[in-house]
Amino acid sequence: MLLTSVSFVAVGGFLSNQITGALYDQRFDQFSAEATEALNREKAVFRNSSAADTDTTSRLVLDSVTGLVGSDSDAPRQAMLVPISTAEGFLISTTVSQEGATARMLPQDLQSAVATGEDIYWAPFVIPVTESGATDAPGLAFGTQVALPPEQTPYALYVYYDLSTMQSTLDDIHRVLWLAGVVLLLVIGAIAWYVTRSVVLPVSHAAAVSEKLAAGELQERMEVTGEDEVARLGASFNHMAGSLQDQITQLAQLSQMQQRFVSDVSHELRTPLTTVRMAAEVLHDAREEFNPVNKRSAEILFDQVERFQALLADLLEISRFDAGAAVLEAESVDIVQLVQHAMDGAHPLAERLGSDLVIVSTETMCVVDADGRRIDRILRNLIVNALEHGEGRPVEIHIACNPEAVAVAVRDHGIGMTPLEASRAFDRFWRADPARARTTGGSGLGLSIAMEDARLHSAWLEAWGDPGAGACFRFTLPRRQGTELTSSPLALPPSSGPHGEASGPHREASGSHRDAPGAEGSTALSGHDIGDGTRQGSAS
């Protein structure tokens, strides 16, 4: 609309100038010819006159001025005889054909030119009051110098045209142009609004439908009317939505079938696995009576059956998470006691690997609202994972809390992780080094289950690693259920000395400082919220 308005103003101004210029040029040529002819005629009349007294000259002047008056309705013509100020001798006062007209209304430049020259001169000027009553009307004056008998005294003879009618016509044309421009602008605006709405409305509808599709309302479709391009777009959109719905439905059904299959197989395998385990225990208890080969076989069988049983338990737990059947049973628990309990459970593994478990904290009690069984499983998974990858070096367990949250960080000084490995640490069955054997026969689901347990608590579970410098897993839990975490009481990784020598608890007196950056030369994994508050890492 703005561009159209500017275009109308430009075109209207151009048309107005063209019309005004053409009309003025045409009438000017006509007025110039008429005035030149009339002034030359009257000039000859004065020159050839035999008037010898004042009365005769006065009548001659009056007749000449009166004869120069024109009655053209578009541009009435008037006349005026004005004495030249330098004239001497026989004088006649100013004679005008229009009542109220005076020589002062004529341009000074025109009067000076007429007084000093012999040609016919012209100039535009403003008529104060016309015969029709118009004020400040535009006019066009022509003048020349004449000699009045009998002394051939120089006078200025003028004829001027009243252009008020022409100006009124031009004003009417301008008003018509402006009115036509406004009407056209409104019409074009209405057309543009209709066309734009006919295009934008389906697009807006498509955007709304796509948002509903993204929200899971796969049955939503666009309304298609007509056979234009927009209708074709709507039909293509509906076809795409139908294809997506079919594929998503198939994927959802396949996912449900896979989850049901895992759950059913896990349940069905428990009974024969129990029988196999009982048989393996009998063989394991009697292994001292076997020869060395059979003895080793009994030990391997017993270990692998235990690993298989742990894998089935983890698969069942994962299937509960996938089915949405996992329920949080929150109660008041002490994190410090849960950490100690998890350490006691991992103590045999620590002795076998030659690693020391060290608590770095001044906290004696950190009570939170949480599911103690799931928290214990998270801590146990983190500690076992640190022992397996700690290369026999000490493993530190840092504990800190503030009024809003409590954090536990498990720090090892083993092989470490790259940022990419840290970002995938919680993926199911993922291993940083596929060729590396699991000394405890883990299932590869421990950290994934820990992440799901953290998600149930609206907690953060974050990983940090540096190749050759070890790794750290930080678990931050809100002290009250329904509270959104904004910071952790512990840095990632927490401050410690070389090779696991603790340099003291990393916690301010208020216990409310925000995360500190990782050690120099390392890469920290800063979490981002997933689901209901759990944060999973992306390298930063």
346, 298: one domain: no
The overall average pLDDT reported for the chain is 80
Using CA atoms, how far residue 459 sits from 408, 481, 487, 540, in Å, is: 11, 10, 11, 20
Rounded to an integer, the average pLDDT of 162-190 is 87
pLDDT digits (tens, 9 = 90+) for 102-127: 888 999 999 999 989 889 999 999 98
Rounded to an integer, the average pLDDT of 503-521 is 34
413, 358: one domain: yes
97, 5: one domain: yes
* pLDDT above 90 as % of the chain: 14
pLDDT at 98 over 90: no
pLDDT at 500: 41
pLDDT at 512: 31
30, 166: one domain: yes
Q: Are 158 and 141 in contact (CB under 8 A)?
A: yes
The residue out of 422, 455, 478 marking a domain boundary is 478
309, 333: one domain: no
The residue out of 438, 458, 478 marking a domain boundary is 478
More confident residue, 365 or 516: 365
pLDDT at 132: 74
Residues 6+ positions from 505 with CB-CB distance below 8 Å: 360, 361, 362, 363, 398, 400
**Range in 92-101, 423-432, 488-497, 511-520 with the lowest mean pLDDT:** 511-520
pLDDT digits (tens, 9 = 90+) for 43-69: 888 888 887 788 888 888 888 888 888
Domain assignment present for residue 343? The answer is yes
Whole-prediction pTM:
0.45
Other beta carbons within 10 angstroms of residue 349's beta carbon come to: 16
**Range in 139-153, 306-320, 514-528 with the lowest mean pLDDT:** 514-528
Domain assignment present for residue 347? The answer is yes
Domain assignment present for residue 502? The answer is no
pLDDT at 442 over 70: no
286, 333: one domain: no
Domain assignment present for residue 526? The answer is no
* pLDDT above 70 as % of the chain: 84
Q: Are 500 and 358 in contact (CB under 8 A)?
A: yes
| Domain of residue 312, CATH code | 1.10.287
Question: 272: which 2 tokens?
Answer: 């024969």
Domain assignment present for residue 201? The answer is no
Q: Are 382 and 421 in contact (CB under 8 A)?
A: no
344, 288: one domain: no
159, 302: one domain: no
pLDDT at 538 over 70: no
140, 50: one domain: yes
Using CA atoms, how far residue 510 sits from 8, 333, 489, 506, in Å, is: 71, 22, 9, 12
248, 341: one domain: no
More confident residue, 265 or 96: 96
Q: Which of 201, 238, 80 is nearest to 146 (CA)?
A: 80
List b or e across 92-126, with b for residues whose CB sees 16 or more CB atoms inside 10 angstroms: beebbbbeebeeebbbeebbebbbeeeebbbbebe
Residue 118's domain comprises: 1-174
83, 162: one domain: yes
pLDDT at 73: 65
Domain assignment present for residue 311? The answer is yes
pLDDT at 242 over 90: no
pLDDT at 89: 54
pLDDT at 475: 92
Q: Which helix (H) or strand (E) holds 31?
A: helix 2-48
| Domain of residue 58, CATH code | 3.30.450.20
The residue out of 298, 318, 338 marking a domain boundary is 318
| Domain of residue 345, CATH code | 3.30.565.10
Domain assignment present for residue 202? The answer is no
358, 458: one domain: yes
Separation between Cα atoms, residue 206 and residue 442, nearest integer Å: 50
> SS3 letters for 153-201?
EEEEEEEEEECHHHHHHHHHHHHHHHHHHHHHHHHHHHHHHHHHHHHHH
More confident residue, 428 or 346: 346
Binning pLDDT at 50, 70 and 90, where does residue 323 land? low
pLDDT at 398: 93
pLDDT at 48: 86
Domain assignment present for residue 465? The answer is yes
Rounded to an integer, the average pLDDT of 327-347 is 87
SS3 349: helix
Binning pLDDT at 50, 70 and 90, where does residue 324 land? low
Structurally, how many domains does the chain consist of? 3
pLDDT at 142: 95
pLDDT at 143: 94
